[in-house]
């Protein structure tokens, strides 16, 4: 019985430490890393894993950037479109005048656009999986 319990714990630990992978029908958004910008500011690298079965012509997010004290420093709008179907897409966004080390969390504040190709706008919150490999967390 003990070896079975050890195996179950090991599998659970591996699942929790695995990179964000969007399940079928899901759209994964991962804050993959951040790096300081020469002259001040932070560059954020986002990975978008689109396993929804649809390409997105519109995909815009409003993000609240929280400083090291957990206080909202600013709102940042990012446009990640287009997001091709069954692809992982890398997008870089700059956060001026704020050190990466002083970002504790990035909160998905609003989805200003989520429009599949040749379809009407939709509510993307239900299909999003957020994750982060950076020091700052990416949360809903």
For the chain, give the percent of residues with pLDDT over 70: 84
User: Quick one: which of 89, 92, 88, 87 has its CA closest to 76?
Assistant: 92
Q: CATH number of the domain at 22-139, please?
A: 2.60.40
- With tokens 């929790």, the residue in question is 16
Answer yes or no: is pLDDT of 101 > 60.
yes
pLDDT (tens digit per residue) in 14-47: 333 344 555 679 999 999 999 999 989 999 999 9
The residues, any chain, with a CB within 8 Å of residue 57's CB and separated by 6 or more, are 81, 82, 115, 116, 117, 118
Assigned token pair, 116:
């599949």
Q: Where are the domains of the chain?
A: 22-139
pTM: 0.81
């Amino acid at each position: 019985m003990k070896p079975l319990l050890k195996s179950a714990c090991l599998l659970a630990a591996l699942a929790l430490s695995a990179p964000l992978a969007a399940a079928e029908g899901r759209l994964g958004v991962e804050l993959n890393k951040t790096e300081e910008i020469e002259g001040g500011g932070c560059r954020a690298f986002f990975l978008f894993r689109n396993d929804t079965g649809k390409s997105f012509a519109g995909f815009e997010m409003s993000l609240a950037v929280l400083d090291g004290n957990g206080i909202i420093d600013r709102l940042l709008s990012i446009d990640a479109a287009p997001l091709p179907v069954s692809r992982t897409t890398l997008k870089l966004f700059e956060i001026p005048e704020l050190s990466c080390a002083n970002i504790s969390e990035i909160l998905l504040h609003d989805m200003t656009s989520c429009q599949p190709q040749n379809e009407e706008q939709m509510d993307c919150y239900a299909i999003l999986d957020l994750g982060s490999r950076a020091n700052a967390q990416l949360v809903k």
